[in-house]
């Protein structure tokens, strides 16, 4: 089993060593599994449970004070499942797998996705806040009232501050962009290959100070994740822009055109930057090896391989 994982594209973290150790643990957890889908689920679950990453516990908070999780999975035989907008679900990746394997659909959202999780044994009603995220939210002067009033509040917060020209408009999905640290919350993903089949998975807690109910690229097939017979990819970064250019599908298309995994990742990110001016990262796996690229300040990855 060959596994590559990422911990999100964004700022340079203040604590790279412990974050890297968790990424290494996640990649190794994936290699212990028997199928690529098992591998990406196992790897991502490790990261969803770690507060250093913006997936599961420690996720970003939306404008109504709720942490909502999203995820998607796909295999190279075109089986796919995705979920979005789940309150209280730590392991969104597992619910995405349920959608892929147990339903005739590819996407279930909101309270109904939470119901699916509960019915298939995935824990719900989990407190996804940490002490840090609870304090950060309380200090943000949360909005009241209607969506229109929420939009006025987040205008200077989501995706970069209009009042702070130094804020990063292309910050990571989990980054706080009004002067707060851009490195400590990052979308996660994994790609695996067992010699026959590929699988990809991506999971997130969304983006800080987003409008309640916002869904980014992560659970959208071809944007946050994609798998095909030529290989698979998982993306991270400025979600709206990733969705507009279908970054993961773009990377896999380059594999289909004969590029190596590394060259496909680099080309996809170069194209993304030219088209959007935003920041993102992508990991890619083909039958020859892995690749990764990013145009943000940083993106940590880990690769592990084990003969089954």
The set of catalytic residues is 187
Annotated binding-site residue numbers: 214-217, 236-239
% helix, strand, coil for the chain, step of 5:
30, 25, 45
Read off the tokens for 207.
């983006």
Q: Which helix (H) or strand (E) holds 9?
A: strand 2-10
Q: Which residues pair with 10 in a beta bridge?
A: 298
> How many alpha carbons fall within 13 Å on the CB side of residue 78?
1
169 Cβ contact list (under 8 Å, min separation 6): 159, 160, 177, 238, 278
SS3 70: strand
Q: How far apart are CA 5 and CA 227, in angstroms?
A: 15
Q: Are strands 107-109 and 80-87 parallel, antiparallel or unpaired?
A: parallel
Q: How far apart are CA 220 and CA 202, in angstroms?
A: 10
Annotated binding-site residue numbers for substrate: 214-217, 236-239
């Amino acid at each position: 089993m060959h596994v590559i994982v990422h911990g999100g594209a964004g700022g340079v973290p203040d604590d790279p060593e412990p974050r890297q150790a968790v990424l290494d643990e996640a990649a190794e957890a994936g290699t212990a599994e028997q199928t690529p889908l098992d591998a990406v689920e196992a790897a991502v679950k490790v990261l969803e449970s770690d507060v250093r990453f913006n997936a599961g516990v420690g996720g970003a908070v939306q404008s109504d004070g709720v942490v909502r999780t999203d995820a998607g999975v796909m295999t190279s035989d075109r089986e796919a499942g995705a979920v979005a907008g789940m309150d209280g679900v730590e392991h969104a990746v597992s619910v995405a797998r349920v959608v892929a394997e147990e339903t005739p659909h590819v996407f279930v959202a909101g309270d109904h996705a939470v119901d699916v999780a509960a019915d298939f044994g995935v824990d719900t009603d989990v407190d996804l806040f940490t002490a840090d995220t609870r304090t950060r939210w309380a200090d943000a002067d949360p909005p009241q009232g209607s969506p229109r009033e929420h939009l006025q509040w987040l205008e200077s917060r989501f995706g970069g501050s209009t009042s702070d020209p130094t804020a990063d408009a292309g910050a990571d999905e989990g980054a706080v962009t009004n002067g707060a640290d851009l490195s400590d919350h990052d979308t996660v993903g994994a790609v695996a290959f067992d010699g026959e089949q590929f699988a990809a998975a991506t999971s997130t807690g969304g983006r800080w100070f987003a409008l309640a109910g916002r869904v980014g690229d992560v659970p959208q097939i071809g944007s946050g994740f994609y798998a095909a017979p030529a290989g698979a990819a998982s993306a991270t970064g400025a979600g709206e822009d990733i969705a507009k250019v279908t970054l993961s599908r773009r990377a896999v298309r380059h594999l289909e055109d004969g590029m190596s995994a590394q060259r496909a990742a680099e080309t996809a990110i170069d194209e993304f930057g030219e088209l959007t001016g935003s920041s993102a990262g992508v990991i890619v796996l083909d039958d020859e090896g892995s690749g990764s690229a990013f145009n943000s300040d940083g993106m940590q990855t880990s690769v592990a391989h084990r003969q089954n």
